Amino acid sequence: MRSSPCVTCVRRITKKLNEDVVVCEAFPGGIPDEILEARNQHRQAFKGDGGLRWKPLSGFEYLDTPEEIQEHEDLPLTDENDSHVRV
């Protein structure tokens, strides 16, 4: 199973909207399953993203492929103690 590109994206918001909805700057109403489940790496336009795409966290600029992202599957998608939390 591939890791979501969201775990290495600067736009992620690590607090959930609710128990079932993960959000980011591009998808404040909820990140589409296709992206969360890594079927789409969000490097290109995606309906509803408002022109915002995946943008790497500092130190992850080298990630180009799903395989490289997979190496970081241990990174949390949501973590209320994360230094990248935006609310």
Tell me the H-state helices in 1-87: 33-36, 66-70
Is the residue at 72 inside a domain? no
Q: What is the pTM of this model?
A: 0.68
pLDDT digits (tens, 9 = 90+) for 15-58: 777 777 889 999 999 999 999 988 998 999 999 999 999 998 88
Number of domains composing the chain:
1
Is the residue at 28 inside a domain? yes
62 in helix, strand or coil?
coil
Is the residue at 45 inside a domain? yes
Is the residue at 82 inside a domain? no
Which element (helix H / strand E) includes 7?
none
Is the residue at 75 inside a domain? no
The Cβ of residue 66 has, within 10 Å, a number of other Cβ atoms equal to: 13
**What is the residue range of 18's domain?**
5-58
